[in-house]
Amino acid sequence: MDNAQITEILKNALELDEVYVNGDGSHFNVIAVGKIFEEITLRVKQQQYLYGPLMPFIADNSIHAVNFKIYTPDVWQRERKLMGM
């Protein structure tokens, strides 16, 4: 599994404004940005939302580990400036 595949899966399945994926083939870091996270405020619910479309790939060991950083669009704009993006 590669970064582009995970990006495509998440973009196609979920209401996200932006998705950034970085990984090594089995361990991935995902930045997910979406207005939906203004409504889904509990961290565990946000993660469940993102894990949903990835579960088949976790179950078959195509993905071993995934780490999420989750942002609303407003918070992401501030974070991008801090990161120099």
pLDDT at 10: 98
3-12 pLDDT tens trace: 999 999 999 9
pLDDT at 83: 78
Task: Give this prediction's pTM.
Answer: 0.91
Beta-bridged to residue 33, according to DSSP, are: 18, 71
Question: Domains in the chain: how many in total?
Answer: 1
Range of the domain at 23: 3-83
pLDDT at 36: 97
38-85 pLDDT tens trace: 999 999 999 999 999 999 999 999 999 999 999 999 999 998 888 777
pLDDT at 25: 86
Task: Identify the CATH number of the domain in which residue 36 sits.
Answer: 3.30.300.90
CB 47 within 8 A of CB 68: yes
DSSP, collapsed to helix, strand or coil, labels residue 16 as: coil
